[in-house]
Amino acid sequence: MERIIVIGAGSWGTAFSYHLARKGLKINLWVREPELYNEIKSKRENTWFLPGVKLPPEIRPFNDLEFLKKEQDAIVFLAVPSKYMRDVLRNFPVRPGFVVSLTKGIEASTLSRMSDVVREELGMVNYAVISGPSFAREVAAGSPTVILVASRERGFAEKIQNLISDRYLRAYTSDDVLGVEMCGAIKNVIAIAAGTVDGLGFGHNTLAALIVRGIAEMKRLVNAMGGQPETVSGIAGVGDLVLTATGKLSRNRKVGYELGQGRDLEEILSSMKMVAEGVETSRAIVRLAEKYSVEMPISEKVFEVLFKGKSPKQAIIELMTRRLKGENE
């Protein structure tokens, strides 16, 4: 039986561990916060991030990364927010041989994707990324879900595909690591815009327009960076964007909704336990768009609303009154 470690006990890390445990696999779950570690150990529940889900004995929490020394051959799944990923990896006492990222974000200070961060901190390891439309609570509840496993090593992608797939969750494979990681990051920024549209009281016309033009932005940047267009139109692109832009369980959509309602960003974030990746990722997306000479007006307006004091209503007006042009220009 494969030895499995999940690094990060947020909602997704906990739900993913629960899914694997439901298959009968044994999971070692690293919990950063001592208080949460003690709660999971004693009460078998993560009330911070996934309340109401009783964690089976197959999930064993640990709080000290030194534990990794005993499990050097394990498959390590990383469920850490992108802004903390590098610091966590730097504290690894050993280099694992197999690493799978569950994170959907970009390191804003360096513009690094998670595959870059893993390579820079751990060296050359077998690496894969999992992405797609997968709300943590619905995965834990057993709602049928499809996701994508991407790796440059086909055999490793298929190994993870077989490991995680069952009647609740179906995994497909891809070799487009760059495209999958970028889609996962961009969709969070567009989801903030989608939530803002809802918060402002606009209707389905506006949301549909926002999503379809968000897909165009995603396609332009992914193509410019060397990703595959099929990725954008598939599970990790359109699939994940539609979920995050419309589903009420979306943290990024919630941030946008509250902004549309007139709340201050600091106030919104301070009231949330979980990280909304799209907030910091918007900084990176705007810089990448500039670097690759790609037009991304929605992402740019999200950044301006978040960090430049622009009102959501003004951002919408500016998007609607841009120069008229052909759809595919």
Per-residue tokens: 49: 């991030």
3-state DSSP percent of the chain in helix, strand and coil, to 5: 55, 15, 30
147 and 169 in contact (C-beta within 8 Å)?
Answer: yes
In this structure, the number of other CB atoms found within 10 A of the CB of residue 43 comes to 11
- d(C-alpha 65, C-alpha 74), whole Å: 13
**Active-site residue 273, yes or no?**
no
Q: Is 24 strand, coil or helix?
A: coil
Q: What is the dihedral sign for C-alpha 35, 276, 312, 111?
A: positive
Tally Cβ neighbours within 10 Å of residue 159: 20
Quote the strand ranges of the chain, DSSP E.
Answer: 4-7, 27-30, 45-46, 50-54, 59-62, 75-78, 98-101, 126-131, 145-150, 169-174
The catalytic position among 104, 187, 219, 254 is 187
Give the residue from 178, 180, 191 showing the smallest Cα distance to 282. Answer: 191
d(CA 191, CA 258): 13
Region for residue 150 given its phi and psi (left: phi exceeds 0; alpha: psi -120 to 50; beta: otherwise):
beta
CA distance 256 to 260: 6
C-alpha to C-alpha distances, 153 to 122, 137, 150, 222, 280, nearest whole angstrom: 17, 30, 9, 21, 30
Q: Give catalytic residue positions.
A: 187
